[in-house]
Copies of this chain bind each other. A is one copy, B any other.
Amino acid sequence: MVVKVYGPAYASPKRVILCLIEKGVEFETVHVDLLKGENRDPEFLKMQPFGSLPVTQDGDLTLFESRATMRYFAEKYKSQGTDLLGKTLEEKALVDNWIDVEATSFNPPIYALTFQILFAPALGLTKDEKVIQENEEKLAKVLDIYEERLSKSKYLAGDFFSLADLSHIPFTQYLVGPMGKEPMVKSRKHVSAWWDDISSRPSWAKTLQICPPPM
């Protein structure tokens, strides 16, 4: 049974899709419309009790955290496609460390900005300028730390592209694209070079080509 990824229009599911493309794993996507509240349907909540995206099914296994799902496929198809985990236990630990930085330090402010700037207007809500300013400041501090880190290694976990970098791509694309905040990336030399590198991977072009826009 082919792998199924729910919610390809949105950023978190694109982490899983990018990973599947890098690993050369066949999959299909199922559209879920957040703006219509399809993520609150009882049938959907049986798969994903928090009502978030993505949900991924691989045979009988259902996973719903995007980063855990990437790790699973990167491990399951270790010997095929791009190695995304690092070669030694120590490299793997550093990949994990920087995936967790993305999840706990980078994602909260960029998610808040995405919601305020892109989704609030689409949902008929008023943008909260105070929340935008606070989260832009938080994100800037995280990017300053990345700038220092990326002055010492080409990628976040070391000199190899990994899940730690991949995990940043979908939301950063919102930031430099529809959110109009490209200077946050461009003004930081090493972050900018890293972004140019990771966003020019063919896997990302293919992801954008097969996934519908979020609204």
User: What chain B residues lie within 8 Å of A67 (beta carbons)?
Assistant: 96, 100
Binds B, one of A1-9, A70-78, A113-121, A189-197: A70-78
Binds B, one of A20-28, A57-65, A206-214: A57-65
What 0/1 readout, one digit per residue, does chain A (158-183) give for beta carbons within 8 Å of chain B?
00000000000000000000000000
Q: Say yes or no: A96 contacts B72, CB within 8 Å.
A: yes
CA distance A49 to B149 in the complex (A): 9
What 0/1 readout, one digit per residue, does chain A (102-138) give for beta carbons within 8 Å of chain B?
0111011000000000000000000000000000000
CA distance A97 to B103 in the complex (A): 13
What 0/1 readout, one digit per residue, does chain A (72-107) give for beta carbons within 8 Å of chain B?
100110000000000001101110110111011101
Q: Say yes or no: B89 contacts A75, CB within 8 Å.
A: yes
Count of residues in A whose CB is under 8 Å from the partner chain:
31
Q: Say yes or no: B101 contacts A65, CB within 8 Å.
A: yes
CA distance A63 to B97 in the complex (A): 7
| A107 nearest CB neighbor, chain B only | B104
| A65 nearest CB neighbor, chain B only | B100
Using known A-B contacts A50-B105, A68-B99, determine if residue A63 contacts B94 with beta carbons closer than 8 Å: yes
User: What chain B residues lie within 8 Å of A69 (beta carbons)?
Assistant: 93, 97
Please tell me if A38 contacts chain B, counting CB pairs below 8 Å: no
User: 16 more A-B contacts (CB under 8 A) besides A49-B149, A50-B145?
Assistant: A49-B145, A50-B101, A50-B105, A61-B94, A63-B93, A63-B94, A65-B96, A65-B97, A65-B101, A67-B100, A69-B93, A71-B93, A71-B96, A72-B89, A75-B92, A104-B104
